[in-house]
Amino acid sequence: MLKQKASPRATTPERLAGTEVEICALEEEYECACRMLDTNQKPWVVVSFLPPGRYGTESASRVASDMVRTFPHLRFALMVGFGGGAPTSETDIRLGDVVVGTPRGALGGVIQYDLENRLPGGRFKMTGQLNAPPDKLLSVVGDKRRRYNDPRKPDFVAEHIRLVDDMAGYQRPQRDDLYCAEYQHEGKTCEKCDVKQTVQRPQRRSRRVIADAATRDFYAHNPELKVLCFDMESAVVMNNLPCLVIRGIENYADSHKNEHWRKYAASTAAAYVRELLLSLKSRGVDAIPPWVGRIKDEVVQGESENT
């Protein structure tokens, strides 16, 4: 795997035949992604991150479009970083967990909402659901889930995360506080927040940019959606090329946000990506056709059907 910051001058499209692109929003995510990748081994991976200070959907869309133009052999993208978790008693989402956007029922894995316009009752308007990731990726994701849930198998995330042990600030924090949904944050940090307002959760014995806990719980408990994670950039990237969304849980999508878990969440997401790419390497990523080629084939097919 080649860890290469996206640059047309540094890497030619001809050299990177059969390429994947890993898009990160922030520098912390980019640093972890580069550390987790090997050098000079296929599949080639181009790692890119959003311009400093310019985050969100518009910037992510521009980066994704630039990647497609610069590297015509791209097969798929991985949108890697951290997001806000939506815990329930059923899902038991914790800080540092990894959430992967995979289809469920009629839903493609990622749902797009308009956060600017609210519906009656304070809910957001769903603007659409996006295409599912390539079947090849989903097959590997399914294998990883089965392996991770098997107590006889080693924890591959814990194995890979050792690669960032020497990076300052990327170690796992000690506290993981989930506050009651109706309890709002006070002050700049959570030092003055009432610990009696935290949700009491049993200690785990096995492996398993919304800031409003009530809204979070509405979507998390919706039986049709069962949302696990919220983020800002993924939807627009999936509009540009086939994409698998991988998020380390940094916060609980409530008013008690802080950055204590940010770097560790970035490292768990990057560790998952490493395992995913190692599995794709053994299976042969060449089975996934280049994205630009698929677009051309669809256009030609559409023209022939209309003649």
Percent of the chain exceeding pLDDT 70 equals: 65
Query: DSSP class of residue 197?
Result: G
Task: Write down the mean pLDDT value for the chain.
Answer: 73
If you write DSSP's letter for every residue of 264-296 in order, what string do you get?
A: HHHHHHHHHHHHHHHHHHHH-GGGSPPHHHHHH
Q: What does the pLDDT read at residue 254?
A: 78
pLDDT digits (tens, 9 = 90+) for 44-85: 788 887 776 666 667 777 887 888 788 777 888 888 888 888
pLDDT digits (tens, 9 = 90+) for 16-33: 455 677 777 778 888 888
- Smallest CA-to-CA distance from 84 within 202, 198, 215 is with 215
Q: Rg of the chain over CA atoms, in angstroms? A: 20
Alpha helices by DSSP H, the chain: 27-36, 57-70, 135-148, 156-161, 213-221, 234-238, 262-283, 291-306
115/126 Cα distance (integer angstroms): 9
pLDDT digits (tens, 9 = 90+) for 268-298: 999 999 888 888 865 666 667 676 545 444 4
Length of the chain: 307
| Domain encompassing residue 7 | 3-201+209-306
> Would you state the torsion angle of the CA atoms of residues 139, 4, 293, 245, taken in this order, to the nearest 10 degrees?
40
Q: What's 33's domain CATH number?
A: 3.40.50.1580
Residue 213: pLDDT band with limits 50, 70, 90: low
State the pairing for strand pair 74-85/19-24: parallel
74/13 Cα distance (integer angstroms): 9
In the chain, the number of structural domains is 1
Q: Yes or no: say if 79 and 245 are a contact pair by the CB < 8 Å rule.
A: yes
Percent of the chain exceeding pLDDT 90 equals: 6
Residue 35: pLDDT band with limits 50, 70, 90: confident
Q: What does the pLDDT read at residue 22?
A: 74
| Backbone torsion region of residue 48, taken as left when φ is above 0, otherwise alpha when ψ lies between -120 and 50, otherwise beta | beta
Q: Yes or no: say if 1 and 277 are a contact pair by the CB < 8 Å rule.
A: yes
Q: Yes or no: say if 110 and 270 are a contact pair by the CB < 8 Å rule.
A: no
Classify each residue of 42-63 as buried b or exposed e, where b means 16 or more C-beta atoms within 10 Å of its C-beta. bbbbbbbbbeeeebebebbbeb
33/272 Cα distance (integer angstroms): 10
pLDDT digits (tens, 9 = 90+) for 93-128: 889 999 998 887 767 677 777 655 555 555 666 665
Residues forming a β-bridge with 111: 129
What is this structure's pTM?
Answer: 0.73
What type of residue is 157? V
Query: DSSP class of residue 211?
Result: -
Q: What does the pLDDT read at residue 277?
A: 85
- The better pLDDT of the pair 228, 184 is held by 228
- Smallest CA-to-CA distance from 233 within 117, 81, 97, 21 is with 81
pLDDT at position 142 over 70:
yes
Q: What does the pLDDT read at residue 98?
A: 92
pLDDT digits (tens, 9 = 90+) for 242-257: 888 899 999 887 777 7
